[in-house]
Structure 1
Amino acid sequence: MMTTTTRLLPELTRIDDLAPRQDELAGWRRHIHQHPELAFAEHGTADFVAGKLQAFGYEVTRGIGQTGLVAQLRVGQGSKRLGLRADMDALPIHEETGLPYASRVPGCMHACGHDGHTAMLLGAAQHLAATRRFSGTLNLIFQPAEERGFDSGAKAMVADGLFERFPCDMVFAMHNHPGAPQGHFLMRPGAFLAAGDRVFITITGVGGHAARPHLAVDPLVAAAATVMALQTVVSRNVDPNESAVVTVGRLRSGDALNVIPAEAEIGVSVRSFSAAVRALLRERITALVHATAEGYGARAEIRYIEGYPVLENDASATALAAKVAGELVGTDRVEPQFQRMMGSEDFAYMLQACPGALVRIGNGPSEGGRGLHNPRYDFHDGNLPVGAAFWSRLTERFLA
C-alpha cells in the first residue's frame, strides 16, 4: 500500500521498488532453507551471505562471534552510523512441510524464519548498494546462534568487540510473527520481550526393585511432586501486576517398569520482565526444589543458567521504525504499542550495548502447525520485498 507520504517522497524506497525482485529473494531464502545449520555451525550460510555481499560491493569481515559477519558500506560524508541485524541459525527439528525446498539436513530446519530474516537483509543490501541514497556508514550484522538460549551469538559478537570495531548510533532487528496479518508491523517502546532463564534439576534417590519400594528412595515421585510444587511459584509468590512464567518442559527418569530409578531430571524455562522478579523466581525455585526433594528423602542438584536479558526497545528508535513502517504499508497496518511477549531474543544483548529496536512483521496465520518452532512452519515469501524495503527506507531515513 502506498500512502500520500510515500508518493510525496519518491526518492525514498517503496515496496514497489523491491517487488519485482521477489522471486530472486525467494530463491536466496529457499536456498538457505534447504541447507540449515545449527548454532555456531553456520559456515555454509555465512559463505553464501558473504559471497552475495562482496558481489554487491560491501567490505565484509568474517569470524565475529565465531561464525558471525559484518558487511560495511560507506556512502558520502555523513557521520552517522547504522546497524541492521539478521540471524542465520536453524533449529534441531525434523521438517514436515513437504515443500519442494524443504530442508535437506535430517533433524534440522529453519523453523523460526531466520532464512527469511537473512534474505530480507540481503535484499536491502543489494538495493542500497545500487541506489546509494544515503550518507553515512551502514553496518549489516549477520549473527549466528540466536536459538542457543544462553552463551548465544549476539552475546558472542558483542564480546568480540562488535560495536568497538563497527560503531553504531542505533541498531535494529526484525523478527517474523505468525498470527499477525502478513506484512503488518508490530513494535513497542521499552520492555518488549522477556528475560529467559533455564533450570536443570537432578533429583537423586536410591534405586531398587519395583516390588520393594520401601527399600528404595524413589526420585521419580520426588520429581513429580517438584513439578507440581513449581506450579505455585508464580501464582503464590509473584505480584499479580507483574508478568512471569515458569514452565516445566522436561521430566525424565527410568527405563524399565520393574525398576525404581536412581535419578530423575527436570528441565524448566523461566521468563520475566524485571530484575526483581527474576531474582525472586530464582530464589523461590531453588528453595522449593531442595525442600521438596528432601521431603521425600532424596537430594536435588540445580544448575540455574541466566539466559537472555529483557529486550528493551529505545523509544526514539521505535518511533522511527513506526514512522518508516507507516510510510511503507500505511499506519493502519502498524501497531506501535503492541503487547509485551514472554518470548526471549538475544538481540537484547546488542540493545544493552547500543540503542535501537526490534520490530516484528506479521507472517500470516499460525494455525495448522504454522507457528514458530513447529515442524510445519514456513516463512512467508511475500514478506521478503516488504522487509527489504523497510530496511532500505529506514537506512535512507536514518542516514539522510
Structure 2
Amino acid sequence: MPVVNRIADYADEMKTWRRHLHQIPELALDLPKTAAFVAERLREFGVDELHEGIATSGMVAIINGQGNDAGDGPTIGLRADMDALPIPEETGVDYVSGHAGNMHACGHDGHTTMLLGAAKYLAETRNFKGRVALIFQPAEEAIGGARIMVEEGIMERFNIGEVYALHNAPGLPVGAFATTPGPLMAAVDTFHINIQGVGGHGAMPHETRDPVMAACGMAQAIQTIVSRNHYALDDLVVSVTQIHTGTVDNVIPDTAYINGTVRTFDPRVQEMVMRRMKEIVAGQAASYGVEAELDYEVGYPATINDASKTGFAASVAGEVAGPENVEAEAGREMGAEDFSYMLQARPGAYLFLGQGDSAGLHHPKYDFNDEIAPIGASFFARLVERAQPAVNASNDG
C-alpha cells in the first residue's frame, strides 16, 4: 500500500507548513510561535479536543474514531517533537531561520509536519475505531519534554494505551524505514569534573599543584573504563569531549574542567561506569595533589521498543513503503532520545524514516527533505487504521 492518496494531495500544503516552522525555530520548553501555529492548524482540521499548555508549550489533540462518543475502543498515541537547536544555520535556503542562532537542525519541523498531515487526514476520514491522541512535544533536545509530559499525566489523562514516533534519518534511502525490537538507542549520561589545584609560574612548576596534568591523567584513565572494566560484548561508550584550562603559555592555572558523555543500554553497566569514574577521579586527584569534584548527571534512559508493537509498526511501514524498504531488525545505536520516557510508560515503537543523502543531524547545513513528509504522515494514519479498523473500513486512501 503506497502513500495514502488523500495525504499525497496535501504535499504542497505540508511543504508550506514545514517551511514556515523552519523559519521560527524555538528552543526547549519555550515554543510560543511553534505551538500557536500547530494549535491553529489542529483547530482548522476539526480535532475533537485540544489540550494546550502541557510541559509549558506542548499539547495533546484528540480525534475520535467511528462510534466513539463514549470513548469506545483504545487510544493510540502518536508523538512529534517540535523544538529546535541553538545552531546558526548555513543552509542558504530561501526559508532560512528567522531566529538568529537557532535552527531546525534535527528535522523536528518535519516531524511536526508529518503528524499534522496525519491529523488532517484522520480528522477528515475517521476511518478507525477508538481514539487517537496526537502528542506535540517540546524540549526533546534538552530537559526531556517527554519526561515532563509523562510526569504531568498524559498517559493516564488521555487513556493512551500505546505510543509511536518517527525520526528522519539522513543516509537512509528516501522513504525507507528502519527499526528494531527491544533496545534501539542508548541511555545518555553526562559527566563534569572540576579540578582545583594551585597555579603558579610556568617556569616554577615545583611550586604548584598542577590541574593540567591532573586533567590529562583523569581523561586518559577514564577512557580505560571501556577497554579494561567492562565485557567487550556489552555496548558502552565513554567519551571525554571537553578539557578547559589555562589562559597563557607561561602560567600554570589554578583550575581545570573536564566534560564528556556516557552511553549505555544495561543499568548494571551504567552503575559500573559511575563507580569507576568516582574511583578514578578521587585516585587521580590524590596522586596529583589536587582537589576534584565529579558531577555525574543521569540523563535519558535507553529507548526500548516493545517487540510486538515494533513488528506491527514495521508491517504498516511495509504497506506504505513496500516490504523491501523496511529493515525491521536494523540493530541498535548509541544515540539517545527522550521518547524513551514514553516507551517506559506505555508499549510502542520508534522508527527511523530515510530522507536520503543530506547533511547529518545537528549540522548547520542540515535541512529536512519535504519529499518524505507525506510518507511519514501516511505511516501514522495507516497505523491507526490498521490497529483500530472501523467496520467496513476502506483502505484505498
What is the TM-score when the length of structure 1 is the normalising length?
A: 0.94
Q: How far did residue 271 of structure 1 move?
A: 0.2
- The corresponding residue for 1:75 is 65
Answering whether residue 182 of structure 2 is matched by residue 190 of structure 1, we say yes
- The corresponding residue for 2:8 is 19
Answering whether residue 88 of structure 2 is matched by residue 94 of structure 1, we say yes
Q: 1:275 aligns with which of 260, 263, 267?
A: 267
Q: How far did residue 165 of structure 1 move?
A: 1.0
Answering whether residue 216 of structure 2 is matched by residue 224 of structure 1, we say yes
Q: How far did residue 17 of structure 1 move?
A: 2.9
- The corresponding residue for 1:383 is 372
SS of corresponding position for 1:350: helix
Distance 1:70 1:114 in 2: 17
Distance 1:103 1:295 in 2: 50
Where structure 1 has 5 or more consecutive residues not aligned to the other structure, the ranges are 1-5, 7-12
Answering whether residue 111 of structure 2 is matched by residue 121 of structure 1, we say no
Distance 1:57 1:371 in 2: 36
Q: How far did residue 120 of structure 1 move?
A: 0.4
Distance 2:25 2:249 in 1: 39
CA RMSD of aligned residues (A): 1.2
Q: Deviations over 1:187-223 (max 9, x none)?
A: 1110111110011110111122222222111211211
The one-letter code of the counterpart of 2:58 is G
Q: Deviations over 1:321-348 (max 9, x none)?
A: 1111111111100000011010011000
- The corresponding residue for 1:339 is 331
Distance 1:341 1:307 in 2: 16
Q: How far did residue 399 of structure 1 move?
A: 1.8
CA contact (8 A) 2:118 2:377 kept: yes
CA contact (8 A) 1:222 1:292 kept: yes
- The corresponding residue for 1:63 is 53
- The corresponding residue for 2:19 is 30
Answering whether residue 310 of structure 2 is matched by residue 321 of structure 1, we say no
- The corresponding residue for 1:146 is 140
- The corresponding residue for 1:40 is 29
SS of corresponding position for 2:7: helix
CA contact (8 A) 1:65 1:159 kept: no
Q: How far did residue 319 of structure 1 move?
A: 1.0
- The corresponding residue for 1:156 is 148
- The corresponding residue for 1:109 is 103
- The corresponding residue for 1:371 is 360
SS of corresponding position for 1:169: strand
Q: How far did residue 104 of structure 1 move?
A: 1.5
Q: Deviations over 1:258-296 (max 9, x none)?
A: 322111111110001111111111111121122112211
CA contact (8 A) 1:81 1:399 kept: no
The one-letter code of the counterpart of 2:31 is E
Distance 1:166 1:362 in 2: 31
Distance 2:321 2:240 in 1: 40
Q: How far did residue 235 of structure 1 move?
A: 0.9
Distance 1:302 1:260 in 2: 22
Q: 2:38 aligns with which of 49, 64, 72?
A: 49
CA contact (8 A) 2:66 2:127 kept: no
SS of corresponding position for 2:100: coil
Q: How far did residue 353 of structure 1 move?
A: 0.6
Distance 1:396 1:339 in 2: 28
Q: How far did residue 75 of structure 1 move?
A: 2.0
CA contact (8 A) 2:240 2:258 kept: yes
CA contact (8 A) 1:17 1:389 kept: no
SS of corresponding position for 1:110: coil
Number of matched pairs: 384
- The corresponding residue for 1:353 is 345
Q: Deviations over 1:58-96 (max 9, x none)?
A: 211111122211011112234111000000111111111
- The corresponding residue for 1:215 is 207
Q: How far did residue 254 of structure 1 move?
A: 2.0
What is the TM-score when the length of structure 2 is the normalising length?
A: 0.94
Distance 1:30 1:211 in 2: 58
Distance 2:87 2:250 in 1: 33
Identity %: 49
